[in-house]
């Protein structure tokens, strides 16, 4: 949008707020229908022709309005009258809508009389705040006919900013939404939106494509896709120009046009509702460079350590004593009476510490945390803070949380920027080869070495990090495991911004329960930065509930809840969005272990010794192409496999295939020039394969630790391969050591072949 249009929109919002008696302290003000149409005029979108008669208009103005209204009548002398009021949400039920058939004589008086009757009817029905009557011309269109009516809505999400929702419009909007579980609409994040993206999405949509593609119903589509895309992009530009991030007095929170109809080859809005507010996103002033000393401190102090009992502070102190990153002699405790605890020197006050520390861990209960944070900030005693305890906003202690946040903001505004803080209500951080502040003893959660130095795992839930660390112990040890809790200072976007572009990190994975206002938009900017560096970002976003009744005046809320918008926004920026914990971890494992093995194509080779797997996997190959083996590969498979095996892709080698032929077949598939990636699966229970631990009672002679065993050789073959490949081990607990051995070799292992295929598809889908 150009400056003139932005100025006009700002003026419309300011005038609307003045008419409504609002000011910049009010949270939200509704726009009436006329004001919504004025916004459309400002951005060049069509709407039904109309004239507004204000309730306080004098007789001369009323006569002038009636004369203009006559000219809006159609050829059948029909005119639509409806009351206008920003709080009148159900005009028809209040008797505030009337189709008027104008008489041949005295038409102006008939209009004025009908207008007065409408005003009286609404007042009698309990309607309030009537601002006038709108005369609208009829727009010829096919109502309630598929492909003829659209919902077009601009909405500002509190975290991600403006999005445009396109759905089936008219009286059946919500019916279609419920009937399709939300699939009757498309969501377009406004930032960086291009017409081509809209056109492609419309063409692919099973319902909305009816508007712009030839069909059995329409030999010629009702509208060119370019027209719809132009309207969507104009709405997006309006949202960006007047969003919470923009330097305007008002934020356009919502502008819903329903229906917009196809009329004379144009898209025309027949009705509109809107919402403006003075809400703006906060400016970010945190010194994000201090995330580096937070993750790699050379000195640290712990507050909240008990001398004569084990508590979280004491466990954290013991874990920090074992840290590799903190220099010997640079770990301290603040304690009012002790001189030493577990050999670590204690000081009564922060001001007595012998140096400014890189890290302070505050494990004091919530009621004492404010004093501790204040001391650290006021005395510039540390570069970073981890606030462990809960009991703040999540427990209803909003004032206490706000007081701590104010102290941090004072520090950020001062010289040096003050410390950055993680938490509260967090488990802390485990920084690989640096330190561990989880208040769990190492005998319960050991953090044994593994792969994963290329992974940053960031979670709002500390408990999730615990389960991941335990489940992947010895397999994946992330470069950083960060529990960020309540986001009283540092947020998810801050951590992604830190890791984006870091050479040692290939994958950044987030478990997020909620974003702070505006932080979703910052997160998307950081995603684009990470993706441009070849990194992958995975997000599991909790909270799939629809937006509540707060925005019930429009249909958009029921069609596009908070989670829908979050998912669409994240995906549009290049995030791999996981909808389940299983898929989240499958992606983390696959992306982390296969980093560096970029697929050059989508031709997949598959081998299994179970026929059902060869059938099941075929239903999971969308986006893949089943590779056709070259002559050399076919010849080798003929040579090594039993005569009754199925040799074409997917290869069913049957349970009769022994270890060596299975391994040679695997190698042949990986070596095939027609194969870009592979799934290697075998149900391991067959005695033809050597894959069990030795049995001390001599029940069998297998030894998976032997250099020729199936898991040993699979780890070697696939670990050294340049092509991405995953393994499936679909059997019980006695085969856990087999799976563990292969994964420790750097190869993702799955216990079901459909999960393996979905994870590999995700790995290929957004490959850098």
Domains, in order of start, for the chain = 1-47+141-281 (3.30.470.20), 49-138 (3.30.1490.20), 287-424 (3.40.50.720), 440-593 (3.40.50.261), 603-765 (3.40.50.261)
Contacts of 759 (CB under 8 A, 6+ apart): 583, 586, 587, 589, 590, 726, 748, 750
User: Cα separation of 746 and 737, whole Å?
Assistant: 15
**Residues 659, 689 contacting (CB under 8 angstroms):** yes
Q: Residue 664 is encoded by which pair of tokens?
A: 């040679």
pLDDT at 130: 85
CA–CA separation, 393 vs 159, rounded Å? 18
Is-contact 714 666, C-beta < 8 A?
A: yes
Please give the structure tokens belonging to residue 290: 């201090």
- Is residue 655 classed exposed, middle or buried when 0-12, 13-18 and 19+ CB atoms within 10 A define those classes? middle
Going through 625-676 in order, the beta strands assigned E by DSSP cover 625-626, 651-652
The rounded distance, in Å, linking the Cα atoms of 92 and 86 is 14
Counting Cβ atoms within 10 Å, is residue 369 exposed (0-12), middle (13-18) or buried (19+)? buried
Per-residue model confidence (pLDDT) at position 506: 96
What is the rounded (10 degree) CA torsion for 599, 603, 608, 613? 100
DSSP symbols for 362-425: E-S-HHHHHHHHHHHHHTT-BSEEEE----SGGGT-HHHHHHHHHHHHHHHHSGGG--EEEESS
Sign of CA dihedral 668, 674, 678, 679: negative
The series of mean pLDDT values per 10 residues for the chain, 768 residues long, is 90 88 71 94 95 91 94 92 83 82 90 90 72 91 89 94 93 81 90 96 94 91 95 97 91 93 93 91 92 97 95 95 94 96 97 97 92 96 94 75 94 95 93 93 91 97 95 96 95 97 96 92 97 96 57 45 88 96 98 94 97 95 94 96 94 97 98 97 96 93 96 96 97 97 97 97 89
Q: Tell me, what's the pLDDT at 550?
A: 40
DSSP-derived letter for residue 693 is: P
Bin 396: left if φ > 0, else alpha if -120 < ψ < 50, else beta: left
Q: Are residues 586 and 758 in contact, defined by beta-carbon separation less than 8 angstroms?
A: yes
Backbone angles phi and psi of 654, in degrees to 5: 70, 160
Rounded to whole angstroms, the Cα distance separating 607 from 666 reads 7
Which tokens belong to 628? 């056709």
- 509 near 457, Cβ under 8 Å? yes
pLDDT of residue 552: 37
Alpha helices in 459-605 (DSSP H): 462-471, 492-499, 519-532, 556-559, 562-573, 581-593
Pairwise CA distance, residues 362 & 354, whole Å: 18
Q: Report residue 246: phi and psi, to 5°.
A: -85, 155
The span from the CA of 695 to the CA of 693, in Å, is: 6
Which residues have CB under 8 Å from 232's CB, separation 6+? 152, 164, 166, 188, 193, 195, 198
Tokens of 636: 């080798």
Residue bearing tokens 């009283």: 488
Query: Whole-model pTM?
Result: 0.92
> Which pLDDT value is given to residue 170?
84
Q: Spell 158-175 as b/e; 16+ CB within 10 A means b.
A: bbbbbbbbbbbbbeebee
Alpha-carbon span 225 to 122, nearest angstrom: 41
Q: 435 forms bridges with which residues in the sheet?
A: 431
């Amino acid at each position: 949008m150009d400056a003139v249009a932005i100025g006009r929109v700002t003026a419309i919002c300011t005038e609307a707020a003045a008419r409504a008696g609002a000011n910049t302290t009010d949270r939200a003000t509704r726009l009436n229908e006329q004001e919504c149409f004025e916004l459309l005029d400002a951005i060049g979108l069509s709407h039904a022709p109309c004239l507004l008669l204000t309730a306080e208009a004098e007789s001369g103005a009323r006569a002038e309005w009636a004369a203009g209204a006559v000219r809006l009548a159609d050829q059948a002398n029909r005119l639509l009258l409806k009351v206008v009021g920003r709080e009148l949400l159900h005009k028809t039920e209040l008797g505030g809508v009337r189709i008027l058939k104008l008489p041949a004589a005295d038409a102006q008086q008939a209009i004025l009389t009908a207008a007065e009757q409408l005003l009286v009817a609404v007042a009698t029905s309990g309607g309030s705040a009537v601002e006038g009557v709108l005369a609208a011309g009829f727009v010829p269109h096919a109502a309630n006919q598929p492909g003829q009516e659209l919902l077009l809505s601009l909405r500002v999400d509190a975290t991600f900013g403006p999005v445009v929702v396109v759905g089936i419009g008219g009286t059946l909007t919500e019916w279609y939404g419920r009937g399709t579980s939300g699939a009757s609409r498309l969501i377009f994040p406004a930032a960086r939106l291009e017409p081509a993206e809209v056109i492609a999405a419309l063409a692919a949509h099973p319902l909305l494509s009816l508007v712009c593609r030839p069909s059995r119903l329409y030999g010629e589509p009702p509208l060119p896709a370019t027209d719809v895309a132009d309207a969507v992009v104009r709405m997006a530009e309006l949202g960006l120009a007047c969003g919470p991030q923009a330097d305007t007095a008002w934020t356009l929170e919502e502008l819903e046009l329903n229906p917009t109809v196809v009329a004379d080859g144009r898209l025309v809005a027949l009705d509109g509702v809107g919402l403006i507010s003075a809400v703006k996103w906060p400016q970010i002033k945190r010194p994000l460079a201090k995330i580096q000393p937070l993750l790699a401190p050379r000195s640290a102090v712990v507050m909240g350590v008990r001398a004569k009992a084990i508590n979280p502070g004491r466990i954290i102190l013991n874990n920090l004593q074992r840290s590799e990153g903190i220099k010997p002699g640079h770990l301290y405790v603040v304690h009012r009476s002790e001189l030493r605890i577990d050999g670590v020197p204690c000081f009564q006050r922060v001001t007595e510490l012998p140096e400014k520390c890189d890290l302070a861990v505050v494990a004091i209960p919530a009621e004492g945390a404010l004093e501790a944070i204040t001391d650290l900030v006021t005395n510039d005693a540390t570069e970073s803070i981890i606030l462990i305890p809960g009991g703040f906003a999540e427990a209803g202690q909003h004032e206490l949380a706000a007081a701590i946040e104010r102290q941090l903001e004072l520090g950020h505004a001062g010289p040096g920027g003050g410390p950055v803080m993680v938490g509260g209500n967090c488990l802390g951080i485990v920084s690989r080869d640096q330190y561990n502040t989880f208040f769990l003893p190492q005998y319960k959660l050991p953090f044994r070495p593994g792969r994963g130095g290329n992974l940053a795992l960031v979670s709002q839930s500390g408990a999730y990090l615990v389960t991941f660390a335990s489940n992947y112990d010895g397999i994946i040890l992330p470069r950083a495991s960060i529990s960020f809790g309540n986001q009283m200072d540092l947020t998810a976007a801050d951590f992604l911004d830190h890791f984006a572009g870091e050479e040692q990190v290939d994958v950044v994975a987030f478990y997020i329960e909620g974003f702070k206002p505006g932080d979703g938009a910052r997160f998307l900017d950081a995603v684009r930065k990470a993706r441009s560096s070849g990194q992958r970002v995975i997000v599991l976003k909790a909270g799939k509930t629809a937006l509540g009744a707060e925005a019930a005046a429009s249909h958009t809320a029921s069609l596009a809840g908070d989670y829908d918008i979050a998912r669409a926004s994240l995906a549009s920026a290049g995030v791999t969005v996981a909808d389940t914990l299983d898929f989240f971890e499958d992606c983390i494992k696959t992306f982390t272990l296969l980093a560096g093995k970029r697929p050059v194509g989508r031709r997949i080779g598959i081998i299994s010794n179970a026929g059902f797997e060869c059938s099941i996997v075929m239903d999971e190959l969308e986006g893949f192409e089943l590779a056709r083996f070259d002559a050399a590969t076919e010849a080798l498979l003929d040579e090594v496999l039993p005569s009754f095996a199925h040799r074409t892709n997917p290869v069913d080698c049957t349970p009769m295939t022994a270890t060596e032929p299975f391994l040679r077949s695997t190698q042949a598939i990986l070596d095939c020039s027609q194969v870009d990636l592979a799934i290697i699966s075998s149900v391991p229970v067959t005695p033809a394969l050597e894959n069990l631990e030795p049995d001390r009672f001599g029940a069998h002679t297998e030894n998976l630790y032997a250099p020729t065993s199936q898991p040993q050789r699979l780890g070697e073959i696939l670990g050294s391969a340049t092509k991405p490949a995953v393994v499936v081990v679909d059997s019980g607990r006695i085969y856990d050591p087999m799976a563990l051995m292969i994964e420790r070799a750097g190869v993702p292992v799955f216990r079901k072949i459909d999960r393996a295929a979905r994870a590999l598809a995700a790995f290929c889908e957004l490959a850098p």
